[in-house]
Amino acid sequence: MILRLFQFALVLVLLVVVAMVSALTTMRFAIHGAEVKVPDFRGLSEADARRKAAEDGLEMSIDDHFYSTVVPESRIVTQAPAAGTIVRTGWHVRVGQSLGAQKVAVPSLLHDQERVAALTIRRASLQLGTIAHMPYALAEAGTVIAQSPDAGAASVDRPTVALLLSSPVSPEATGYVMPDFTNQPEKAAEAAVSKAGLKLAPTLYRQAEIPPVAFIAAPGEAPAPPALPIMPGTVIAQQPAAGARVEAGGTIQFTLAQ
């Protein structure tokens, strides 16, 4: 009797083990069956890229546009996640589309009011980028005191123009709120600092590093936008930091990309 009970218990344990192994195997195949390797969309037309994404069970959207002398107009020039990344079926791939070589001249916006500058940017088939403000007593509030890229700049990577606008200075104010100069060209940042009556410390230089696109394993989350190349002479760090108080006549130091 005891032997029979032992045999019955042993069979029951074996059945449980087999069931667990079967369940784990099924889950393994189900998970791996829902994974796909992100193809290389670079160089493809928008129609071909969308077709390829659909064939692999991926979603795709064009999130940015870039000038390129290498990739023809309307072709895909950047993507995130990078080609070869393993993602789940249904993952959202963000791509950047080439505008071809830069054909539009960057207009001069200095001394324009914000509304006029924005209109000029749109008329030039460009896009209005980041707008920052800086207390500045030598110009009417809302006047452009710096722009990025500079007027007439060549080899621009994207069709956006960032503006630095003057804001009122309080009569009691003895200092400024430090604006964010990162990603602005050296000349535009230094011109804004000089106009505000601040001093420039010796410039530092550093090799700019672009971190690789990180793979986010959580399903349904949008991946981070692709890292863009940083042009030499671009501000990549500043001291004091953006938002810090700077006393009148204070010293500002920039770190530029080499």
User: Do 203 and 120 belong to one domain?
Assistant: yes
Q: Do 166 and 198 sit in the same domain of this protein?
A: yes
Residue 237: name the closest of 201, 212, 213, 211 by CA: 201
**Which runs of E-coded beta strand occur in 178-248?**
199-200, 204-206, 235-239, 245-247
Last residue of one domain, picked from the residues 70, 98, 126: 98
Shared domain for 42 and 124, answered yes or no, is: no
Q: How many CA atoms lie within 13 A of 159 on its CB side?
A: 22
CATH number at residue 202: 3.30.10.20
Q: Are residues 146 and 219 in the same domain?
A: yes
- Biggest alpha carbon–alpha carbon distance for the chain: 103
Q: Tell me, what's the pLDDT at 168?
A: 84
**pLDDT confidence of residue 91:** 93
The boundaries of the domain holding residue 92 are 38-98
Rounded Cα–Cα distance for residues 99 and 68 (Å):
7
The two three-digit tokens of residue 242, written as one number:
């953006």
Write down the pTM of the prediction: 0.52
Contacts of 247 (CB under 8 A, 6+ apart): 174, 175
pLDDT range class, residue 74, cuts 50, 70, 90: very high
Assign 17 a pLDDT band (cuts: 50, 70, 90): low
Range of lowest pLDDT (126-130, 140-144, 245-249): 245-249
H-type helices in 75-201, by residue range?
114-123, 186-195
pLDDT tens digits, 151-185: 888 778 889 999 989 888 766 656 677 888 888 88
Query: What average pLDDT does the chain have?
Result: 81
Name the domain count of the chain: 3
* 89-112 pLDDT, tens digit each: 999 999 999 999 888 889 999 899
Return the pLDDT at 33.
52
The tokens of 246 are what?
């700077």
Count CB-CB contacts under 10 A for residue 150: 20
Q: Half-sphere exposure (CA, 13 Å, Cβ side) for 213?
A: 23
- Token reading at 161: 């123009």
Question: How high is the pLDDT of residue 29?
Answer: 45
| CA separation for the pair 230, 218 (Å, rounded) | 29
Residue 104 lies inside a defined structural domain of this protein: no
7 lies in a domain? yes
Domain assignment present for residue 81? The answer is yes
| pLDDT value, residue 144 | 92
Same domain, 60 and 183: no
Mean pLDDT of 218-231: 52
User: Do 118 and 191 share a domain, yes or no?
Assistant: yes
- Tell me if 27 sits within 8 A of 121, measured CB to CB: no
Higher pLDDT, 85 or 6: 85
User: Is beta strand 204-206 parallel, antiparallel or unpaired with respect to 144-148?
Assistant: unpaired
Report, as an integer, the average pLDDT of 72-84.
92
Tell me what pLDDT residue 238 has.
92
Q: Please check whether residues 118 and 197 belong to one and the same domain.
A: yes
What pLDDT score does 42 carry?
92
- Going by C-alpha positions, the residue among 208, 207, 257 that lies closest to residue 233 is 257
Average pLDDT, integer, range 235-257: 86
139 falls in which pLDDT band (50, 70, 90)?
A: confident
pLDDT band at 216 (very low <50, low <70, confident <90, very high): very low
Q: How confident is the model at residue 13 (pLDDT cuts 50, 70, 90)?
A: low
Q: What mean pLDDT do residues 48-67 have? A: 92
Residue 92's pLDDT is what?
A: 93
pLDDT at 241 over 50: yes
Same domain as 54, residue 177: no
Higher pLDDT, 229 or 50: 50
Whether 106 maps to a domain, the answer reads no
According to the model, what pLDDT value does residue 215 have? Answer: 43
